[in-house]
Structure 1
């Protein structure tokens, strides 16, 4: 289940989850960007265990990201920057797929055809090999806040337009958390 971050308490939980996840992987912490849509993801225990962030490109994208992707993003692309893909250790292997499902659902509902990101190499490979969502490495790997990352373009419309194809049999419609206590 997912829930959009709508208040300070939820934002604090979002940053806590991201900080634990990122520091555990050796990354320096980054806080949510202005203009972004932030989401929490909940485990079977009804506790928040994952995060994801969508930032309209280029309106709210940092100069660093614009510099990486301005020569990649074409006029016919409706693009979002994706970030903060974080899952607490307890929820790894459980919430990742749910977040990817939500990514496709969100992109389709909001009209985004592509996403840009600087991706952990293992996450990049999983998009292509596990989830069959075409991710293209658009530049050489770069060192960023504690590790090497891949500047990537994700072809989301290709996936959501063909979501009934057998290769997307892993896809499940995301469920929004409507009620309940945060923690």
Structure 2
């Protein structure tokens, strides 16, 4: 299940999750206003989070604006940031829940692409389940290496719909995931 961050208490929980994960990786911390932030829960405990924000040419850490695939589409491009799962919950299905949520978010907002600077291991994990495309060389950013990546929303959803875990979420866990 997930909740959209709306209160100060939820903001504290959200920040606590990603700050713990980013400190673990040695990333520098950065805060933004005007973003959609979500907390993911398991058995009443906050275990993961993600931030989604409008793509901004001003805040580019990598020149995604130079990507041919994105030209003329920036009004339907969002950036995924702070995708974090607490260490003790990794490998227990939370990434799949978050990916399912992101696919539903993409459909609802009629997006064409997501951009992201992904930690190399996360990039490799997502590459197996999504059509994540590396669009530049690894670079050092905020304390660690990252892989500049884009996700074609329509192709990613098509690929997700082939996955067994995605079908299971869609058929059975949707109600559980969407509970507040």
Bin the TM-score by the shorter chain.
0.7 to 0.9
Q: Is the Cα contact below 8 Å between 1:68 and 1:151 reproduced in 2? A: no
Please list every run of at least 4 consecutive aligned residues from structure 1 whose deviation after the TM superposition is greater than 6 angstroms.
none
Instruction: Report the Cα distance in structure 1 between the residues aligned to 2:160 and 2:85, rounded to whole angstroms.
Output: 24
Instruction: Report the Cα distance in structure 1 between the residues aligned to 2:98 and 2:58, rounded to whole angstroms.
Output: 23
Is residue 56 from structure 1 mapped to residue 54 from structure 2 by the alignment?
yes
Q: Give the aligned CA root-mean-square deviation in angstroms.
A: 1.7
Q: How does 1:1-183 map to 2 (within 5 A)?
A: 1-31=1-31, 33-43=32-42, 45-58=43-56, 62-65=58-61, 68-72=63-67, 73-76=70-73, 78-94=76-92, 95-129=94-128, 131=129, 133-161=130-158, 163-165=160-162, 168-171=163-166, 172-173=169-170, 174=174, 175-178=177-180
TM-score by length of 1: 0.85
Structure 1 stretches of 5 or more lacking a match?
A: 179-183
Shift in CA distance, 144/96, structure 1 to aligned 2, threshold 3 Å: same
TM-score by length of 2: 0.86
Structure 2 stretches of 5 or more lacking a match?
A: none
Aligned positions, number: 169
Q: Is the Cα contact below 8 Å between 1:140 and 1:150 reproduced in 2? A: yes
SS of 1:70's partner is: helix
